[in-house]
Amino acid sequence: MPQTAIRVFRDADGTTPLTEWLDELEESEPRAYAKCLAFILLLSQLGYELRRPHADTLRDGIHELRIRVGTVNYRILYFFMGANIACLSPGFTKESKVPNDEIDLAVYRKRLVERDPNKYTAEWEG
């Protein structure tokens, strides 16, 4: 299976919210940061074949990386752009199920990317 290229969502102003979230996580929770990077690497290796417990499908083409460190659940939402490109949306912590607001935001970002992938994505530099 070919490797999956990883892209990150980029706002219109050029910032990448996932990178900002990971930078904060690296400062506050280094173990969680390292595990998030490991899961992103796993996604790049397995792509569509990545399943539970590491990933799951939510709705409207949105998937989640399911990271747990201790009792804290971290999530990175993502969607596929074609066969071998995954685009990561910003991450967050959750207590029960993934909030609909987070999924709706990921769906909105997916639509932006579909309209103009060069404007709304950046290469993953992990």
CATH number for 15: 3.30.2310.20
| Domains in the chain, number | 1
123 located within any domain:
no
Domain with 23, as residue range(s), is 5-117
Question: For position 1, what pLDDT does the model report?
Answer: 59
**Considering the domain boundaries, does residue 99 fall inside one?**
yes
Question: Three-class SS of residue 58?
Answer: coil
How far, CA to CA in Å, does 2 sit from each of 24, 29, 89, 100? 32, 32, 22, 32
What does the pLDDT read at residue 90?
Answer: 86
Residue 125 lies in a domain: no
Is residue 9 included in any domain, yes or no?
yes
Judged by phi (left if over 0) then psi (alpha if -120 to 50, else beta), residue 2 lies in beta
Please identify every stretch of the chain with a pLDDT value under 50, giving residue numbers as ranges: none
115: helix, strand or coil:
helix
In a domain, 24, yes or no: yes
Residue 92 lies in a domain: yes
Query: Structure pTM?
Result: 0.95
